[in-house]
Structure 1
């Protein structure tokens, strides 16, 4: 299975990172402040395609996470490995983002990056400090059962990419094709990494203002995860979007962008 070939795919640039291999990314350019945007487990930079036109005042740096899309896996499948590779990308590009916007696994990676150094602001979509799905859960079993080639039209990816609010089916199909191109071993490795991840020690080190946005109907990281996030950061604003699921930036990009831009405006004006 190959990646979905379209304009988004063709916009990607690549760099070679020392010790991590090739990383693909979209850079929207422009003179505005830079935002680093990190997607979730099995997604690609395409995840932020619907937010991009709503953030035109910013330069968006949107990588394919290691092992996803056009990026090589690099050092490993743990959140800390991903964070190291992303910091290497920023150093290679000589970019200091005004904030990081992370979704799900990308939000976890953003937490680790923010705990390692100064950052103006952190915006987390559908995040978790302890993302273990549980060894006996149906979702863990389904991921462990994946083998190559993965069917983008199969039951697993149909359920994995189910959204509470209707999303453009063509967009979702491209997401599924991209996800199916990721080797099953990478799926398995990330699942194993999630099982031993606890980002609470990282979160309590962060002094930057944090905005947490989550859907009230998120099937992966529900109320308890949102409560843990609210209690961990020194400065946090929590927003729950009623009726939204794990992908609110697909389900209602205008609403997510409104919260994001308002928060960034406050931070930049402070």
Structure 2
């Protein structure tokens, strides 16, 4: 599975949900087909399934991959609920539609919040949870540049706005073609959706929900993440009280978008995490960083 950003939209399938909304997604079957493990990859706020394109290219065909455009993002219709409330419900409906009972869930930033919700909903169907650069309480400073810029957005949003330089800032060089597509997709979102989801995320607290997750958990973060620093990561590490194992690893020299900055390292750590999950005993193997 090579990364074809120009053709990414053509890879998407669509599911019509019970309320008539359409959910777009990319589905790649592994060499083992339905018998192999399924990874559900959930993107961050204002991103799309494309956010995981490079990571997916390194994980397939070892794993089957399900990569949705979350509601209001990419090619998926928006929900009217605030924040990312209900996003996990839509992803669960997609899993049911595809006839997949069990899954390993990976979520970046907002996708990590959705991943916590989804694993709590799935119960024993959730085989593992990987969280990338996320938080249980993803509120940003009210008077910060990002909060101020998002509150002032108005349609049509200009993809050339300098705000996107900060919004998509990375600690390491990232493919400029990918970043160009990411800007265009983020700018294509309605300002009202930006603001509704952002406000809902600011009010979110998934601490109690994390306590309902019963699968192994791996939390990866960048030491140079400007959004969710060490205090957020400590809270994550301590929240999964019902999980048989919860491991937190901070990656030196990486920022908020760790799967863009170092997809190879993230893919390796995901593979090690998954290989360490015993579906009978649910334990995890040690992880090494290089």
> What is the match of residue 127 of structure 1?
134
Cα distance in 2, alignment partners of residues 224 and 45 from structure 1 = 28
**Which residue of the partner structure matches residue 86 of structure 1?**
91
Paired residue total: 267
Confirm or deny: 8 A CA contact 1:134 1:195 kept in the other structure.
no
Displacement of 1:89: 1.5
Distance 2:197 2:92 in 1: 19
Consecutive unaligned residues in structure 2, runs of 5 or more? 282-290
Alpha-carbon deviation of 1:5? 7.9
Please point out which of 48, 51, 74 is paired with 1:44.
48
1:163 to 161, 165, 170: 170
Q: Distance in 2 between matches of 1:103 and 1:20?
A: 27
Does the aligned pair in 1 maintain the 2:5–2:178 contact within 8 Å?
A: no
- 3-state SS of paired residue (1:127): coil
TM-aligned CA distance change 1:208 to 1:20, over 3 Å: farther
* 1:120 aligned counterpart, secondary structure: strand
Task: Give, in angstroms, the shift of residue 268 of structure 1.
Answer: 3.9
Using the TM superposition, give the Cα deviation of residue 114 of structure 1 relative to its aligned residue in structure 2, in angstroms. Answer: 1.2
Deviates more, 1:239-248 or 1:130-139: 130-139
Deviation, structure 1 residue 74: 2.7
Structure 1 distance, partners of 2:14, 2:196, is 24
Q: Normalising by the residue count of structure 2, what TM-score does the alignment of the two structures yield?
A: 0.88
Which runs of 5 or more residues in structure 1 are unaligned?
Answer: none
1:75 deviation in Å?
A: 4.3
Query: Does residue 180 of structure 1 match 2:187?
Result: yes
Q: Which runs of 4+ in 1 moved over 6 A?
A: none
What displacement does 1:88 show? 1.5
Secondary structure in 1 matching 2:54: coil
**Any idea what the Cα deviations from partners look like across 1:141-167, whole Å, max 9, x if unmatched?**
110111111111211112100111010
Q: Is 2:218–2:247's contact at 8 Å kept on the other side of the alignment?
A: yes
Q: Over aligned residue pairs, what C-alpha RMSD do you find?
A: 1.5
- Which position in structure 1 is the counterpart of 2:286? none
Structure 2 CA distance for aligned equivalents of residues 53 and 230 of structure 1: 28
Distance 1:197 1:20, change over 3 A: farther
Corresponding residue of 1:201: 208
| 1:36-57 CA distance string (max 9 Å, x none) | 1100000000011111121121
Q: Contact between 1:19 and 1:74, CA under 8 Å: does it hold in 2?
A: no
Deviation at 1:102, TM superposition (A): 0.5
1:28 aligns with 2:20: no
- Counterpart in the other structure of 1:210: 217
Deviation of 1:78 after TM superposition, in Å, equals: 2.6
Provide Cα deviations, 1:19-69, integer angstroms capped at 9, x if missing partner. Answer: 261000000123132111100000000011111121121110000000001
Seen in structure 2, the aligned counterparts of structure 1 residues 20 and 35 have a Cα distance that, compared at 3 Å, is: farther
Are the equivalent residues in 2 in contact too, given 1:219–1:246 (CA < 8 A)? Answer: yes
Conservation of the 8 A alpha-carbon contact between 1:129 and 1:198: yes
Asked if the contact 1:115–1:206 (Cα under 8 Å) also holds between the matched residues in 2, the reply is yes
